Amino acid sequence: MVLTRSPVVADALRAAVRAPSPHNTQPWIFELAPDTIDVVLDESRILGACDPEAREARLACGAALLNLRLAIAAAGRISEVELAPERARPSLLARVTLGPRHRPTTTERRLSAAIPRRYSNRRPFTDEPVPLRLRTAVREAAREEGARLVLLDEAGLLEATAGLIRRADHIQHLDAAFQRELRAWTRQTSEDDGVPASAGGPRSAGGLLPGRYVNEDGAPRVFEQDPLVAVLTMPNDAPISQVRAGCAMQRVLLTATDAGLSASFSSQPIEIPAIRDELRDLLGGAGHPQTVFRLGYGCPGVKTPRRPIEAVTRDRSEEEQP
């Protein structure tokens, strides 16, 4: 029997699975022991065409890790986190151990409360500008997890980066293996994973950025002409840094959600190594780009589904059996 009897652990797992992931693959397994949660990369859910190096899968697991940390803190416990705790098992990304009692901070409470409200909004945003105080807040959220968030309009790099996104999107459009994989994870009806048509965006009638999960049924709509696009970078690009980047990404997204902002990803240039290198050079070469997303004020969208907790948890003893 999976050890989810602790209300703190059960609530933390419900929070963890709300993390974003490429094509909503949910590439995580949580192995449980008393007062311990291991975050394991589910290698069977790595996207062979889109994410063959599992970069985005590790980011997703990092986002799930941050959700675990926040939910445990909001429940009044300290969480002690060890990244890559077993060198011989690289798929074991993190070990979270519940510590002593803790008085949650206001930020921990607010970000934990934002977890069930956060989702990728693939619909057009309004042209209302994101104020300086919120731009500062999302940059600080990334910095708190060891990352840097570059807001492209402030750096004068929006047009050039949008060109890289469009070029990467065109390459993927011509890639038969990528398109087969995308179709396999784009659902006509809502299932436990993948992106249902209802959560896709409309066809674009104009805008800088291409969409990926397009719902062809509705009429085309005009997207914002001056989107706020952010690139999150890390000082190095090791697998463990990608997990940390996922924590930073999720802290930014939850900070944005708490402030009433929407977000959606433009992952295309990250998924093509040569264009990712171009993006790094464009940003000055100091950091390694990990993810690209737009922020803004959006009309309500549709959440993607999640697998039940029972499908993504197992006792650690099950893994240790020969």
Specify the pLDDT at position 318. Answer: 61
Q: Work out the angle between the directed axes of helices 239-258 and 132-144 (0-180°, nearest 10).
A: 150
In the chain, count of helices (H) and strands (E)? Answer: 12, 13
pLDDT in tens, 1-25: 455 568 999 999 999 999 999 999 9
Decide if 95 contacts 82 (C-beta within 8 A). Answer: yes
Inform me whether the pLDDT recorded for 279 exceeds 80: yes
Span 167-179, average pLDDT: 97
Decide if 59 contacts 246 (C-beta within 8 A). Answer: yes
pLDDT in tens, 59-115: 999 999 999 999 999 999 999 999 999 999 999 999 999 999 999 999 999 999 999
The angle at the Cα of 20, spanning 197 to 174, to the nearest 5 degrees, equals: 55
Please tell me the total number of residues recorded for the chain in this structure: 322
Query: Pairing relation of β-strands 288-296 and 313-315?
Result: unpaired
DSSP 199: G
Specify the pLDDT at position 320. Answer: 55
Inform me whether the pLDDT recorded for 322 exceeds 80: no
Specify the pLDDT at position 1. Answer: 43
Inform me whether the pLDDT recorded for 263 exceeds 60: yes
Please give the mean pLDDT across all residues of the chain: 93
Specify the pLDDT at position 190. Answer: 75
Decide if 28 contacts 41 (C-beta within 8 A). Answer: yes
Q: Of 255, 213, 212, 206, which is closest to residue 230 (Cα–Cα)? A: 255
3 state SS of 219: coil
Q: Of 125, 86, 63, which is closest to residue 300 (Cα–Cα)? A: 125
> Which pLDDT band holds residue 156 (cuts at 50, 70, 90)?
very high
DSSP 75: T
pLDDT in tens, 187-225: 887 789 999 988 888 777 777 888 888 776 667 787 888
Specify the pLDDT at position 212. Answer: 85
Task: Choose the weakest-confidence range: 142-156, 212-226, 269-283.
Answer: 212-226
pLDDT > 90 fraction of the chain, expressed in percent and rounded: 82
Span 259-283, average pLDDT: 97
